[in-house]
Each structure stands twice: as C-alpha cells, then as structure tokens.
Amino acid sequence: MDQRQVQDKAQAFIARWSAATGSELANAQSFVRELCDLLKVEPPHPATDDPTANAYVFERAIAFQNPDGSTSPGRIDLYKRECFVLESKKVKAGPATKGFDDALLRARAQAENYARALPAAEGRPPFVVVVDVGNVIELYAEFTRSGATYTAFPDARSHRIPLTRLVEPEVQTRLRALWLDPMSLDPSRITAQVTREVAAKLATLARELEGAGHTAERVAAFLTRCLFSMFAEDVGLLPKAPSGSGAFVHILRAHRDQPETLRHMLRALWTDMDRGGFSPALAAQVLRFNGKLFKGWAADEYVLPMSKAVVDGLIDAASSDWRNVEPAIIGTLLERALDPVERHRLGAHYTPRAYVERLVLPTVVEPLRAEWANVQAAALLLATEAQALGGRRGDTRMDEARAELRQFHHRLCTVKVLDPACGSGNFLYVTLEHLKRLETEVLDQLQALGDSQAKLGLEGETVTPQQFLGIELNERAASLAELVLWIGFLQWHVRSAGSASVAEPVIQDYGNIECRDAVLAWDRQEPMRDE
C-alpha cells in the first residue's frame, strides 16, 4: 500500500469515527480493531479463563488489593503486556468544555490504577493510553516501569492526539510503536547514545590540547565554551551564518587554515555573546548570554591555540545534534572526558537516568504530584460548579479555580532542592526536568480555564535553575553542574516555546552551585611547613 492509499484509508477512518455517536460500550472495541488495521498491527487476541495468559486482550481481569486485605475485581478495556493499559470513554461533553477535561482526567487515573494493580510478575507497562472514541487519543509514559508517575508523552502540549492527526505519518509511526516496541519511544535511549559520542569526541580534543602543553583546567574551560556554542547554534540561540550553517561551525570552517585569525574570531564571538548586541564576527545581532561562561575574554588563554587536527575535531563534534544531548549524563561523561585520570573510564560508569529517578521521584516529584492531583481536582470541581451556576456566582467560582492553580504554580516556582554533593549535576537536572514537566501541566490547565496570564511561565514566574542548589568540592565538576542545569533548562524552554521566547540574559549567574566542602567551612588555608 503506497502513501496515498494509506492517507485515504486514514481519512476514511477519521470520517467514519468522527460521526460515531454511540456509547463507549457499543463502539470502543470496534474502534480499537479498526485502529489496529489502520496501524497495520495485529488485533487483540481472544481471552482465556487464565488471566495470566491474557497478554493482549480486551476486558483483562485484575484484582485490586484493598487495605483490609480483601480484593475487588476490575477489568482493563484493553491490555497489552509490556506495552500499555488502554482506557476508553465516549465523553458526551464537547472537547472545549471543563466536563471533557474532567472526564479524561478521571479516565487517566483509572488507567493508572489498573496498571498498578497488575501482578508484580508482569511488571507495569511503559504506557497508559486514554481514548475518547472518535475524538482523541492521549498518551502517558513511565519508561522506568518502577511504579513512578505516568507523565504526558512526549510532553504536556502534544500528548493529546486529535483523531484528525491520524493522517500524519509521524503520528501513525508513534502509535504503531506503542504496539510493537514502546520502549523505542524512550527519548533517553537516543540521547544517551548521542551524548556518549559527543563526550568521546571531546575527550580526543582534550588529549590533543593537553599534549600541546595546556593545563587541564584551561582545556576544560575552553572546551566548555565550545560545547555551549555548539548547543546554542543547534537550538537557534545563535543566528545562522550567511552560508546557512551554524554560526560557530561557520567560523571554524572559514578560518580552519588560519589558526591565529580563528583565535581572534572566536574571542570576538564569545565577547559578543557575553555582551549581546551586534556581532561583527557574525555580522548579525546576538543575544546577551552573560553568566560566567563567557567572562574573562581578555585573558590570553581564553581561546587556546589550535592545530588543524583540533579544529577538524571541533567541526566533527559540532556536527552532532546538540538538541538531543542528554543533560542527565552529559555532566558525568564530560567530567571524565576533561579529566586525564578519569578519561579511560569514559562511558563505562555513570549513573543511569533510571537510577537517578529512583531517588528523585519519591523524594521530590511524587509528593509534588500528589499535591497537584488534589489541586487539579479541586480546581476542576470549582470550574464545573462555575459552569453550572453562570453569572456573577459562576465568575467567582472560576476565579477561585484559577487561584488554586496559581497558588500551586507559585509553590512549584519557589520550592528549593539541594544536592550537597552534586558532582556534575545529574540529580539536580533530572529534578529540574520533572518540575518543568509538571509546570507545563499546570500552565495548560490554567489556560484551559481561560486564564489570560497562563503565559506567565514564559514571561514571569517560572521554574528556573536558581531553585536547584548544589555543593561540590571539585571545581571542574561544579562548573559542569551549572552548565548541565542551563543546557537542560534551555532545551526544555526552546522545545516548549521556541527560541524566540528566551529572555536575556540567556544565562544568569545565580551562584546556586558552590565549590566548597559540604561539611567543613574555613576562612583560609595555611600550609604546614617544616624548618
């Protein structure tokens, strides 16, 4: 079947089911079977009397464990082992109403309860799917499969797929992966590989520069500036060169055979990035980056002399897609890439994201998400009452609903997280990412309730790296921790709202990562000397 035929089939599916008005009970299974046919995946199997044998069935029986030791029966609308739990509804309220959001929220909670009630031997599936038959499909993911919270996938702004989008090949591919290989959708699998490749390239460059007689500290500072420049050009924070390539890589290529000119051009670029304004190096306006990263441009070692091999290595490293570099591991890998002693262990040992989340989720994220569930339920109840009351009393209830959400958003933007031995910032970044994900859900809910200031998460109070405090004894690791937090924050910001929304200065010097001993403090150090 060619692409045109696939499109026609999708259009026919959309037309047929958009007009469906029957109940969930009447239509849900037929909808799923036809969706399977559209996605070219096998339909559910016949169920058996043995629940453990029912790996892919409608109406999978489960037992809820009650606090008093008794059990209650339940049935999952559609279950595919190691893939998903699917809960279907036919919501009578229109998509633009509060009742619609409330119904899907309850369906999601029900599906998550089913996932948690599955036998431990089967494990929890990576996805929870909520379907409003003939209208939308919502995706929620939890790739660690450890019992943590399912979150909107790929993010809170695009997890809800209207039926009309089923004509898009990328949407069909994403949904097909739910059936065939859901773990392939885990973004950390892609980003981890990219990050290892980048770190290996930077390790080679560090070795070359140290071999030319430069200290490890100067090499680390220089390569960190290079790294951030590669990231900035890939996410659109630096203007394109006239050639259409990224600004940083354009300078490297243009002056590859003129090492001294290249040094002057990089110094000019980074000075312009520090100050902001018109950049002669690029013949264009650049954002004011500020922070600590581009300070000290007058020092001779600010831009190290580079051989052609080093320049070629930088060009090669810049060819990686820095939008997909994973901040959760880049700190550890870069720390080793830039440390002559640790370099032989590059990529061999780092704390995987899943391990980081085993600590971050129960200590920080899950308590906040429990609060959010209560706040969201209260706000939606008030909004439903407002819709029923109408008039001035309804307006008052709606104001109360928005106030509930704004108060929680303020709490989210003021909570502080401390890692007293932060290393290169992995734990802090993962926590930041989860709080940004939660913040997006809050802002979306505010917008759904008609709050014209829901954009405040981009323009005013928002979750920032300032809330994430670290103490680290190793100076190089402390600098990398700060870099990791800012790359992660900017990645999220650009992905959610585009590079045009980034405020100046791009990087703030919050002083949130301190290079010192977490236990002992002193005024000065006095060396002990013999006679």
Structure-block tokens of residue 295: 């300070």
Q: Who's near 426: CB < 8 A, 6+ residues apart?
A: 328, 329, 331, 332, 350, 351, 356, 484
Looking at residue 301, what is its pLDDT? Answer: 87
State the burial class of residue 94 (Cβ atoms within 10 Å of its Cβ: 0-12, 13-18, 19+): exposed
**CA-based nearest residue to 206, from 28, 350, 396, 334:** 334
CA distances from 426 to 198, 359, 369, 479, 483 (A): 17, 12, 21, 13, 11
**CA-based nearest residue to 160, from 107, 200, 236:** 107
Looking at residue 147, what is its pLDDT? Answer: 64
Structure-block tokens of residue 293: 């990263």
- Single-letter amino acid code for the residue at 421: A
**How many Å is the maximal CA-CA distance in the chain?**
95
d(CA 423, CA 430): 13
Looking at residue 342, what is its pLDDT? Answer: 60
Structure-block tokens of residue 364: 């920080």
**CA-based nearest residue to 330, from 425, 398, 236:** 425
pLDDT along the chain (531 residues), means of 10: 81 88 76 94 90 87 82 92 93 71 85 88 92 92 78 83 93 95 84 73 84 84 88 89 82 92 93 91 87 82 91 89 73 63 53 78 92 90 84 84 94 96 88 90 83 57 94 83 90 77 86 89 84 83
The HSE-up count of residue 195 (CA atoms within 13 Å, CB side) is 26
Place of tokens 């000065």: 524
Structure-block tokens of residue 265: 């051009």
pTM (two decimals): 0.73
